[in-house]
Amino acid sequence: MTDRSIQVSSKLLQQCLGLKSGESLLIVADDSKVELARALYQAGQQLGAESILTVMKERQKSGQEPPEAIGEAMKRANVVICVTEHSLTHTRARKEAAAADARVATMPGITPDMFLEGAITADYLQVKELTEKVTDFLAKGKRVKIVKDGEELVFSIEGRRGIASTGMYINPGESGNLPSGEGYIAPVEGSAAGRIKIDGSVAGMGKLDSPLYLTIEDGRLVHAEGEAAEKLLDVLGDGPGRMLGEFGIGTNDKARITGVVLEDEKVYGTIHIAFGSNHTFGGVVEAGVHVDLVVKDPDVYIDDVKVMEKGVPNF
């Protein structure tokens, strides 16, 4: 733990989460992320908060619930930060904590490099402005088409609520990733059809050396080609984990594709899709798994209006 990591932690707690003296701060960590969690704990103490650090066994996959005792503690804190290898973003524990008015930031896969450089250094007022524009397009849209190198995937978003992950969670019940910068939405289950080329990264697998080609029918992943295909299908399982659960657009111009999806899915000029759980943000899929996949430089249409051309937004 360095002075620099405590300084970054202090800025993050104040600017992104609005932590005040006297509030309760709960840091949820697993064994692999304890050092970063301690920096946040120390910064919280210095800011006058009642800091609490809990350490759990590393989850097996993203979307898996934390222990019940930690889930209960999350509901009772003013501010919660989850510093874990696998994501707690799409869990009931996170959803229930936000419903209880906690301000929640999740940092799945965060590394020391990501903590001190890259997306975390962005101007979050600028990120917030672009993210809200993106989310407005999603909220008003009915149909999305993604085109990339001759492959095309279409799906409905009609009636679904766009989510702005701005990196600023200062009001009761607000939650999202840190570092952040994405607008995302839950596609209508069963509506997706087509193929998509994944050439950025896959959550839990890192940067791709060669692309994945995915075929989706009736909202479900039915075929995958590429070096990472077998591992992806194994992680998703044969059940609801194969349902298309998310579509998102990155809005952070300081983010880099590092192989850690927490930062990768925020990169300006990328989009991402995810398979598995989306019940925490407007969908109905509860799969116990949520895997994000990043696409670089796509064309994106919302209701036949081209809103991205080779990754460049037109908002």
Segment 188-211, tens digit of pLDDT: 999 999 999 999 999 999 999 999
pLDDT of residue 1: 66
pLDDT digits (tens, 9 = 90+) for 237-289: 999 999 999 999 999 999 999 998 889 999 999 999 999 999 989 999 999 99
What's phi and psi for 105, nearest 5 deg? Answer: -120, 130
Domain extents for the chain? 3-116, 122-313
Pairing relationship of beta strands 244-250 and 182-185 according to DSSP bridges: antiparallel
Report d(CA 141, CA 139) in Å as an integer.
Answer: 6
Q: Is the pLDDT of residue 230 over 70?
A: yes
Give me the DSSP letters along 14-26. IIIT---TT-EEE
Report d(CA 169, CA 124) in Å as an integer.
Answer: 11
Mean pLDDT of the chain: 95
Report d(CA 267, CA 231) in Å as an integer.
Answer: 24
Q: Is the pLDDT of residue 139 over 90?
A: yes
What are the structure tokens assigned to 73, written together? Answer: 């503690």
pLDDT digits (tens, 9 = 90+) for 112-124: 998 888 898 888 8
pLDDT digits (tens, 9 = 90+) for 178-188: 999 999 999 99
Question: Across residues 163-186, what is the average pLDDT?
Answer: 94
pLDDT digits (tens, 9 = 90+) for 31-76: 999 999 999 999 999 999 999 999 999 999 889 999 999 999 999 9
What are the structure tokens assigned to 122, written together? Answer: 């962005």
pLDDT of residue 125: 86
Report d(CA 28, CA 142) in Å as an integer.
Answer: 37
What's phi and psi for 96, nearest 5 deg? Answer: -70, -35
The CA-CA-CA angle for residues 132, 147, 144, to 5°, reads 45
**Which architecture does CATH list for 3-116?**
3-Layer(aba) Sandwich (3.40)
